[in-house]
Amino acid sequence: MVAIATLASPDTEVQRAREVAAAVLDPEVPVINLEELGVLRGVARRDGRIVVTLTPTYTGCPATAAIQMAVEVALLEANISGAQVETVLSPAWTTDDISESGRAKLKAYGIAPPNRTAPSGLFEVEIVACPLCGSQHTSKVSEFGSTACKAQWRCESCREPFDYFKCHR
Partner 1 sequence: MTDKTNPLFDLTLALADDALVLGHRLSEWSGKAPMLEEDIALSNLGLDLIGQARLFYAYASELEGHSRSEDDLAYFRDAAAYRNLLIVELEIGDFAHTIARQFLYAAFVHPYFQALTKSKDARLAEIAAKAVKEMAYHVRHTSEWMIRLGDGTADSQRRMTDALEELWGYTGEMFEMSVGERALAGEGIAPNRAALQAGWNATVDAVLREATLMRPKDRGMQHGGRKGQHTEQLDHMLAEMQVLARQHPGATW
Measured distance between the N- and C-terminal CA atoms of the chain, rounded to whole angstroms: 39
Query: In angstroms, rounded to a whole number, what is the distance separating the alpha carbons of residues 81 and 78?
Result: 9
Indicate the residue among 82 and 91 with the shorter CB distance to partner 1. Answer: 91
Quick one: CA dihedral 43, 41, 34, 84, positive or negative?
positive
For position 58 contacting partner 1 by CB under 8 A, the verdict is yes
For position 60 contacting partner 1 by CB under 8 A, the verdict is yes
154 beta partners: 139, 161
For position 22 contacting partner 1 by CB under 8 A, the verdict is no
Minimum gap (Å) between residue 60 Cβ and partner 1: 3
> Which of 35, 85, 119, 126 contacts partner 1 by CB under 8 A?
119
> Which of 23, 61, 78, 85 contacts partner 1 by CB under 8 A?
61
Indicate the residue among 17 and 29 with the shorter CB distance to partner 1. Answer: 29
In sequence order, which residues have a C-beta less than 8 Å from that of residue 110 and are 6 or more positions away?
Answer: 131, 132, 162, 163
Q: Is 163 helix (H, G, I), strand (E, B) or coil?
A: strand
> Which of 94, 110, 126, 158 contacts partner 1 by CB under 8 A?
94
DSSP tally for the chain: helices H, then strands E: 5, 7
For position 10 contacting partner 1 by CB under 8 A, the verdict is no
For position 90 contacting partner 1 by CB under 8 A, the verdict is yes
DSSP state of 113: P
For position 85 contacting partner 1 by CB under 8 A, the verdict is no
> Which of 6, 44, 49, 62 contacts partner 1 by CB under 8 A?
62
DSSP state of 101: H
Q: Residues in the site for partner 1, rule: CB under 8 A?
A: 56, 58-62, 89-94, 118-120, 122-123, 141-146, 148, 152, 168-169
